[in-house]
Amino acid sequence: MSDLQPSRDPRHWMRPGTLQLGAPPPLSLYIHLPWCLKKCPYCDFNSHEWSATAASGEAMPEARYLDALRADLEASLPLVWGRPVHSVFIGGGTPSLFSPQAIDRLLADVRARLPLEPDAEITLEANPGTFEKDRFRAFRQAGVTRLSIGVQSFDDAQLKALGRVHDGAQARAALEEAAQVFDTFNLDLMYALPGQTLAQCEADLRTALSFAPPHLSVYHLTLEPNTYFAKFPPPLPGDDEAYEMLDRITELTAVAGLQRYEVSAYARPGHACRHNLNYWRFGDYLGIGAGAHGKLSFAHRIARPVRVREPRLYMERALAGDAVASMDEVPRAQLPFEFMLNALRLREGFALADFMSGTGLPLSSIDAALREAEAKGLVEREGGWVRPTERGFDFLSDLQSLFLPA
């Protein structure tokens, strides 16, 4: 009799079922470091302002959190035993609040327990507000191969309106250091900001492009539920203005040699984010850390594990071997939408054979929705390949919603 909880026991997930999945897809590892200096008013991620919950002068519990991550990973190993890991993404929060020594220990713990591929992409999210000279170099020495820098804007007034803790000068300094230290990095930028004009958006983008980023992620500011901006909405550009901004972004990035390979991502050849590509291609990922989500495929079903959300409770539960808040099987009827939610974000689209092997479903499960999408000019089919059209990219939510269960 196994001592494992059913959700942790591979035999529970390997029992017979109606789906027939192909070989397991590539596996990635997501690690969540939940603390930040200040909660941004637009942020709906599981991020926690340390000073808001800590006693005066109390240090962030780096070592205890790393112990919890290690225990969480060890408890998860039976579900992914022997599967190579091709990418690691350390997100947050603001992971760069953790010391380079902590990141070094974290990656050593990962390497000792999982078979990382020799050329694995290892990304760390960094905030210019936590930037110190040579800090990025120390992260590189710890084993990080790629930085993702949350700039959002170079305009000091916009940064203040967004509640960011850095200014434009700090953003520039962080990017200069990243370009010197890393072979590849990502720059995060936002548009349709409070009161932003097309000229201001273009100025931000031109500044970003002046650093020749190998990868650029550009996000439309949206008012997410349960955020400060949702309760007290700032004046935002209208839809027509936002579309103008996006058209200009697409035009200028193409001139700069960046290919729009995903709806919000632009990259130079060879610099697409492998970790995110695995998400969008419906690959598997093990998520550890407070509130982390995962996706794991087995022979006859797909599971979605979710970790305990609150950081202090997560540490307590992980150290007791019980970090998983829930681990549910994805219902058969939901699988087409889950696949399309990811795959249709990619300019390349997807192979129909990959849909079948990744979901275990026949093509008949999506045939009617595909025909409707084609009739509306949202996708095009060529041989065994489906890709979104320009119109499909512009109306992505409408396209994805065609695959919702009836």
Cβ atoms of 330 and 302 within 8 Å: the answer is yes
Tell me the domains of the chain and their CATH numbers: 6-278 (3.20.20.70), 332-406 (1.10.10.10)
Q: For residue range 302-320, what is the model confidence (pLDDT) as tens digits? A: 999 999 999 999 999 999 9
Q: List, in sequence order, every residue forming a beta bridge with 267; answer none if it has no partner.
A: 215, 259
Band of the pLDDT at 50, cuts 50, 70, 90? low
Mean pLDDT of 180-188: 96
Q: In terms of DSSP bridges, do strands 259-262 and 265-267 run parallel, antiparallel, or are they unpaired?
A: antiparallel
Q: Which pLDDT does position 6 carry in this prediction?
A: 63
Can you tell me the mean pLDDT for 189-195?
92
Say what the pLDDT of residue 233 is: 76
pLDDT for 12 beyond 70: yes
Beta bridge partners of 306: 293, 326
Q: Which is more confident, 204 or 40?
A: 204
Give residue 164's pLDDT band: very low, low, confident or very high (50, 70, 90).
confident
pLDDT at site 40:
66
Answer yes or no: is pLDDT of 338 > 80: yes
Residue 116 has what pLDDT? 97
CA distances from 190 to 91, 127, 219, 258 (A): 18, 14, 5, 17
The structure's pTM equals 0.94
301 has a pLDDT exceeding 70: yes
Residue 32 has pLDDT above 90, yes or no: yes
Check whether 46 has a pLDDT greater than 90. no
